[in-house]
Structure 1
Amino acid sequence: MIAFKVKALICQVKINHLKGHLLLATTNRRCRHTKSNSNKLLSYRPPDWASHLQMIPLLKVKLFQPFTPIHKWSLPNIPDDIDIYIKRDDMTGSVLSAVAAKQLGIETHLLLRSRSENLSETGCHGNMLLNSLMGASMYLVPIKAQEKSDLEPRMQRLADRLQEEKGIKAYSIPIGGSNVVGLHGYLCGWQELLEQVEYLACLMGG
């Protein structure tokens, strides 16, 4: 879905709750290679148990280090017969959409849900600092903004403006990368866990 003629990336994110969700590249066979990304294009094959799915991307771009380690986590007041482990996804090397886009030379625009109305009130630390260092354009939206009625129309207006004013094509990514392409990022993450541990227990939540 993402072609490398795309020059801008528009993401919906929450301040202090950003995820590295730009994983897979394109289902567009006419993808145009450039000097900056031609060595990063790799063929994509989903896990065997997901090979029956439709609209499988053809290519991917390596933006992170997979198979991060799983470490035993010592926490207080845990019974002696219970072991807790943590997967170190802080060691992937690419944890923000703005960082991933910067690696590909893509202009980044972030819609940030916030209780503040002015960027100067949000401070410049943590993810906000990293977004600024990556040259991302940031736009604050109300914390209660709804995805379908508020965020998606605003993203489309921004994409239209980028096309009209700069002649560039934008690709929009919803919160959490919750679309067909983003799904395969989660599938690959699950496959990685299957190869690292013997048993898995899942807690489902929003």
Structure 2
Amino acid sequence: MTHRLQEYQPPEWAQSLKLIPKYRVQLAAPGVTPITEWKLPDAPEDFKVLLKRDDYTGSVLTGNKVRQLEFIIADAIAKGHKHIITAGAVHSNHCRAVAASCAELGLQSHLFLRTPAKQVSDLKFDGNLFLDRLFGANFYLVPADADYVEFIEGVEFDDILCACGGGRTICGLAVANYLCGMPYRLHTIVVSKLKRDNYRKIVQDHLNEVGLQDVAVEDVVTLYFNQVTPEHGENLPSQLELMVKSAEQTGVVLDNIYTAKAANELKELMQNKPEVFKGNRILFLHTGGLPSLQSEAKINPLLPYLTRSKFTFVS
């Protein structure tokens, strides 16, 4: 698979960073994903919300996950590795993207999945888990408790907001925004149960690792924790309601784990704390994740909110 490797040349503003990757392998659909205006349901009219369609990066590789993997997997191929090991929740979008990428490139994926299941027969192979199996991943079940400039260049907006699970996306955005002179104010909506200090450390460690030793987390990003639910895949009623409204009224499908929680917090901030934003033009990063909805466990909580469609039997 070495023929797929492309030498990576960082943009001029990023060349002083440490840990710059040497190679990239193209996995996402070519070109820059579009930015469109989004009529976010129940948002104040004096705000303009733009939608970065990173759910258009390509089929099962949809979302921001594939952007990271283009560099991570390229490094593995360059070093001669044949196996990729990663971890996540049982319906992890990241794990699904890893499994798909490995299948495409002739590598073997090994997925450590957090789940309450005690044996294989307890699992329901639907949604992302079905896709993981379809791509030939190996599974390891563990207890449940146990590129920047292409994104932000050339569009007029004041703030960027995205969801934060493991923290990699917001770390990358924070570095890029800082190196570009802080043209935007960054906001990230934490969706995981990790403690607040843990998230601050994740971002701070990343800044330090790439050579930004004198930059503090508070200088580059604001973290919000209001949308965290007891379990990673659970949702507040307001999040479920927004998922349905967004699909019905705008045609934009949000996933229950990341984008629904981030969009719900965006709406609430615009309604109740508009002063946190630099301006009234906000870019919302849609990070994909649609296959996670294609399971009975994710669909059932949404059914009470699906009241628009009418059914008529015709004889």
> Who is 1:67 aligned against?
32
Partner Cα separation in structure 2 for residue 71 and residue 45 of structure 1: 29
Partner Cα separation in structure 2 for residue 119 and residue 51 of structure 1: 47
Shift in alpha-carbon separation, 1:117–1:78, aligned structure 2, 3 A: same
Shift in alpha-carbon separation, 1:47–1:116, aligned structure 2, 3 A: farther
The 5-angstrom pairing of residues 117-136 of structure 1 reads: 117-136=118-137
Partner Cα separation in structure 1 for residue 155 and residue 120 of structure 2: 43
> Who is 2:10 aligned against?
46
Structure 2 SS opposite 1:202: strand
Using CA pairs under 8 Å that are at least 6 residues apart, name the structure with larger relative contact order, 1 or 2: 1
Q: Give the deviation of 1:196 after TM superposition.
A: 4.2
Partner Cα separation in structure 2 for residue 54 and residue 106 of structure 1: 28
> Who is 1:97 aligned against?
98
The 5-angstrom pairing of residues 160-199 of structure 1 reads: 188=147, 190-199=148-157
Total equivalences in the alignment: 127
List per-residue Cα deviations over 1:79-135 (Å, max 9, x = no partner).
111122222112111241111111110011100112222333231111101101100
> Who is 1:6 aligned against?
none
Q: For 2:6, give the aligned amino acid.
A: L
Structure 2 SS opposite 1:203: strand
Structure 2 SS opposite 1:111: strand
Q: Give the deviation of 1:138 after TM superposition.
A: 1.2
> Who is 2:286 aligned against?
none
> Who is 1:203 aligned against?
187
Partner Cα separation in structure 2 for residue 122 and residue 196 of structure 1: 45
Shift in alpha-carbon separation, 1:74–1:41, aligned structure 2, 3 A: same
Aligned-pair identity in percent equals 38
Shift in alpha-carbon separation, 1:80–1:124, aligned structure 2, 3 A: same
Q: Give the deviation of 1:54 after TM superposition.
A: 2.6
Q: Give the deviation of 1:68 after TM superposition.
A: 1.0
Shift in alpha-carbon separation, 1:80–1:53, aligned structure 2, 3 A: same
Structure 1 SS opposite 2:156: coil
Shift in alpha-carbon separation, 1:88–1:118, aligned structure 2, 3 A: farther
Q: Give the deviation of 1:62 after TM superposition.
A: 0.5
Q: Give the deviation of 1:71 after TM superposition.
A: 2.1
The answer on 1:87 being equivalent to 2:87 is no
Partner Cα separation in structure 2 for residue 118 and residue 83 of structure 1: 49
> Who is 2:20 aligned against?
56
Structure 2 SS opposite 1:97: helix
Structure 2 SS opposite 1:99: helix
More helix by share: 2
Shift in alpha-carbon separation, 1:119–1:56, aligned structure 2, 3 A: same
Shift in alpha-carbon separation, 1:86–1:122, aligned structure 2, 3 A: farther
Q: Give the deviation of 1:75 after TM superposition.
A: 2.4
Partner Cα separation in structure 2 for residue 196 and residue 127 of structure 1: 34
What is the Cα-based RMSD across aligned positions, in Å? Answer: 1.9
Partner Cα separation in structure 2 for residue 104 and residue 98 of structure 1: 10
TM-score by length of 2: 0.37
Partner Cα separation in structure 1 for residue 7 and residue 154 of structure 2: 23
The answer on 1:113 being equivalent to 2:144 is no
Structure 2 gaps, min length 5: 63-96, 158-183, 191-198, 200-315
Partner Cα separation in structure 1 for residue 108 and residue 152 of structure 2: 35
> Who is 2:307 aligned against?
none
Partner Cα separation in structure 1 for residue 139 and residue 154 of structure 2: 37
